[in-house]
Amino acid sequence: MCPAWHVCTSGSVRPALSRLAIAILDDYQDVARSSAPWGDLDADLTVFTDHVDGLERLAERLAPFDVLVAMRERTPFGADLLARLPRLRLLVTTGMANAAIDLAAATAHGVVVSGTRIMPGPTAGLTWGLILGLLRHIPDEVGNVRSGGWQTTVGVDVDGLTLGVLGFGRLGRRVAAVARAFEMDVIAWSQNLQPDDARDGGAEPVSFEALLERSDVLSVHTRLSDRTRGLIGSPELARMKQSAVLVNTSRGPIVDEAALVAALRDGSIGGAALDVFDREPLAPDHPLRSAPNALVTPHIGYVTTANYELFYGDAVADIAAFAAGAPVRVLDER
């Protein structure tokens, strides 16, 4: 297995290809074409700006393509779907990890899976936008002004509060650095966190239980895995302060959605700010859309001009390399 960021060759790389049929998936804002030099490729390019669910519909849509470019985990590629795409040779995902792709099944079907670089800054920035938006009731007050009203809420100061960081990697460290600028106390926990690493990042290492009990703002920045799926459920939410708020810009299934909705409705926690969900796009009638004290955004943590240019620019480079029989970036499988 090649480590993340290394350029490696795969045993399933095939000789130089003739004109490729490429599809870009889930380009909601219709910006992929303008974000990278697709014209440099000898290819026919199709861009899908809508999202399609269901094995049959997906298989029918994607069957004509040699190369697919997936935007993060918007479309899952499980073994059943990959088996229905005999023409597929290369699957490029934005980012260097994608829990929605069955890498073993891809290998079994002779599909090379490659990735792109990703910027950590945009998601950390959105995290703070959500924290401040929730604590200072910014969306509510913007709505008041637009409708002709004026002040109706009273905000909460962040200085002096305790930020709990669940997952202290590069994103968690960035969020913690901003918290220190706001004169917040910072505590951190993750399943493999070394105490000295936490202290070096300006955070006090604590137990999982202490993280839940002491945090005024609990921000999730851990990867989704079998160990972290459902990590925060009803028992964990019950340990949090009634005034505390939960922020999740990582992956939806880390938090039990039903338990969170219940906690918001009965007031057992102070609020939640969410950019990620179990199933995306969020259903029109999903209870989180109307839950009290919930600030909800449509998974835009990584959605910036610079990130899209990096994503799609690297995708073009991966496709060009693959077509020439050259090495491509392979995913980090951790």
Answer yes or no: do 184 and 288 share one domain.
Answer: yes
Residue 247 lies in a domain: yes
Considering the domain boundaries, does residue 153 fall inside one? Answer: yes
Same domain for 253 and 214, yes or no, is: yes
- In one-letter notation, the amino acid at residue 89 is R
Q: Are 94 and 71 in contact (CB under 8 A)?
A: yes
334 falls within a domain: no
Regarding whether 260 and 135 lie in a shared domain, the answer is yes
Average of pLDDT values for 172-200? 97
Q: DSSP for 175-204?
A: HHHHHHHTT-EEEEE-TT--HHHHHHTT-E
Nearest CA-CA partner of 197 in 221, 224, 218, 167: 167
- Taking a C-beta distance cutoff of 8 angstroms, is the pair 123, 129 a contact? no
Rounded to whole angstroms, what are the CA distances from 263 to 139, 245, 248, 253, 295?
21, 11, 15, 16, 14
Same domain, 230 and 257: yes
Q: Are residues 79 and 182 in the same domain?
A: no
Q: How confident is the model at residue 331 (pLDDT cuts 50, 70, 90)?
A: confident
Write the CA distances from 50 to 53, 55, 71, integer angstroms: 10, 16, 12
Identify whether residues 187 and 316 lie together within a single domain: no
Q: Say yes or no: 85 and 160 in one domain.
A: no
Q: What is the CATH number of the domain that holds 286?
A: 3.40.50.720
Q: What local confidence, expressed as pLDDT, does residue 333 receive? A: 58
**pLDDT tens readout for residues 54-82:** 999 999 999 999 999 999 999 999 999 99
What is the domain range of residue 262? 121-296
Is the dihedral angle over the CA atoms 223, 35, 26, 93 positive or is it negative?
Answer: negative
Average pLDDT over residues 182-210: 97
Q: Is the pLDDT of residue 143 over 80?
A: yes
| Rounded Cα–Cα distance for residues 266 and 255 (Å) | 17
Percent of the chain with pLDDT over 70: 94
| 141 and 89 housed in the same domain | no
∠ CA(214), CA(215), CA(218), 5° rounding?
Answer: 150
pLDDT at 19: 87
pTM beyond 0.75? yes
65 and 135: one domain? no
Checking if the pLDDT of 45 tops 50, the result is yes
Is 282 in the same domain as 308? no
Largest CA distance in the chain: 66
Alpha helices of the chain — where are they, by DSSP H? 32-35, 55-62, 79-83, 103-108, 121-135, 138-146, 170-181, 195-200, 208-214, 234-239, 257-266, 305-323
**Both tokens assigned to 259:** 């338990």
Dihedral pair phi/psi, residue 313, rounded to 5°: -65, -45
- Catalytic site residue 146? no
What is the token pair recorded at 246? 């939960």
Average pLDDT over residues 174-203: 97
Active-site annotation holder among 89, 137, 251, 329: 251
Q: Report pLDDT digits (tens) over 70-124.
A: 999 999 999 999 999 999 999 999 999 998 999 999 999 999 999 999 998 999 9
In a domain, 72, yes or no: yes
Catalytic-labelled residue, pool 72, 174, 214, 299: 299
pLDDT in the model for residue 224: 92
Considering the chain, what is the average pLDDT of its residues? Answer: 93
- Lowest-pLDDT range of 16-20, 30-34, 239-243: 16-20
pLDDT of residue 16: 45
Q: Is residue 2 part of a domain?
A: no
Does position 18 have pLDDT exceeding 80, yes or no?
Answer: no
CB 10 within 8 A of CB 58: no
- Number of compact structural domains in the chain: 2
Kindly state the tokens that stand for 38.
Answer: 């697709």
Q: Give the C-alpha separation, 258 to 166, whole Å.
A: 20
The span from the CA of 218 to the CA of 229, in Å, is 17
212 and 314 assigned to the same domain: no
Q: Look at residue 1 and tell me if it is in a domain.
A: no
Annotated catalytic, 236? no
Is pLDDT above 90 for 11?
no
Region 311-324: what's the mean pLDDT? 96
Tell me, yes or no, if 299 is annotated catalytic.
yes
Catalytic residue among 141, 204, 280, 309: 280
Q: For 145, how many CA atoms within 13 A lie in the half-sphere containing its CB?
A: 5
In the prediction, which pLDDT does 330 show? 84
Q: Looking at the domain assignment, is residue 150 inside a domain? A: yes
Residue 4 or 300, more confident: 300
Asked whether residue 197 is domain-assigned, the answer is: yes
Would you give the distance in Å from CA 145 to the centre of its chain? 32
Residues 70 and 216 in one domain: no
